[in-house]
Amino acid sequence: MSYFDWFREDRLPTIYCAGCGNGTVINCTLSAIDEVGWKREETVFVSGIGCSSRASGYIAADSLHTTHGRALAFATGVKLANPDLNIVVFTGDGDLAAIGGNHFIHACRRNIDLTVVCMNNQIYGMTGGQGSPTTPRGALSTTTPYGAAEQPFDLAELAIAAGANYVSRWTSYHVKELTKSVRAGLETPGFSMIEVMTQCPTNYGRRNKFKQVADQIEYMKTHAMLRKKYDTLLEKGEPIPEGAIVIGEFARRSRPAMGVRRAA
C-alpha cells in the first residue's frame, strides 16, 4: 500500500479554502502512518466537527465523523472495544478545547492509546470566525471585534499536565519535523497529542493583518522558537519575544496507559 492509497480520490478536492494549512497537516499525518506501515483494515480515523474534522472523510479507511467535541469519547470507545486497532483523531482548537475540553483532559488522564492531531488555527473557521479557547489576546474575530480579552489555553501544556505520554507542538511550516513527530506519537503507547499551529487565511488571517497566506506562514517561521531556547531565556530571566510560538517535542514518557494493543 502506498501513501496515495490512503486518499479517497472520489472525495477530492477537499472543501478547504485556498491556502488553508489543514491539507499540509493531513499530508504529514498520512506520511507518518505510511512510514510506520499501518494497515488500512487496522486503522480508524475519528473526528468531531470543524474544518480540521473533515479530514477523516478524505481518507480511505474506516472513520467516524462524530458530533462537536465528542471525537475523543467515540475514539475511546473504539479503542477499548478493540485494542488491536490503531486510532488517529483529527480535531481543531474549538472542537478539542471548548466543547470537547472535558473529554480532552480525561483522555489524557486515562492515557488512552490514541494519537490526536490538533490543527490549531486559533479560531472557529467553519462557523465563520468566532473566537476559540486558543485565540490570542488582542486578536480579532467575529466575537472579539475589539480584540480577545482572555488568556488562551496552551493545549500542549494542558496535555502534559493532564497526563499524556507524548506531547509536541509544530506548525504547518515545519513539515519534516511535524511528520517525524506524528510518527513518534503513533509509536508511543498511550495518549499522544501533536498540536499543529496552522493558518486559516479566510477567517483568522484576513482579520489579523495577514493579507497573504504567505504572510502567516512567514510569521510562523520567524516566530517559532524551540523549547530549549525558550527555557534558557526563562532561566536567564530574559524577555520572551512577543508572539513567540514554542515548538518541539515537550514530553515522551511511559506512564501506565489504557487500551494498549495486546501482545501478539
Contact footprint for ligand SF4 (CB under 6 A) = 16-17, 20, 22, 51, 121, 125-126, 200-203
Q: Which is nearer to ligand SF4, 43 or 202 (CB)?
A: 202
Q: To the nearest whole angstrom, how small is the minimum distance from the Cβ of residue 28 to ligand SF4?
A: 16
Strand order in the sheet with 115-120: 62-65, 43-47, 86-92, 115-120, 192-197, 166-171, 245-252, 224-226
CA-CA-CA-CA torsion sign (240, 244, 245, 248): negative
Q: Are 202 and 20 in contact, with CB atoms under 8 Å apart?
A: yes
- Is residue 100 within 8 Å of residue 48, measured between CB atoms? yes
- Alpha carbons within 13 A on the beta-carbon side of 143: 15
Nearest to 32 by CA among 245, 261, 188: 188
User: Please, which residue, 22 or 31, has the CB nearer to ligand SF4?
Assistant: 22
Query: Which is nearer to ligand SF4, 171 or 202 (by Cβ)?
Result: 202
Q: Which is nearer to ligand SF4, 104 or 124 (CB)?
A: 124
Report the distance separating Cα 116 and Cα 186, nearest Å: 9
Smallest gap from Cβ 199 to ligand SF4, in A, equals 7
Query: What's the grid cell of residue 236?
Result: 536567564
In whole angstroms, the minimum distance from the beta carbon of 204 to ligand SF4 comes to: 7
Closest separation in Å from C-beta 95 to ligand SF4: 12
- Looking at the Cβ atoms of 115 and 121, the one nearer to ligand SF4 is 121
CB of 107 to ligand SF4, least distance (A): 23
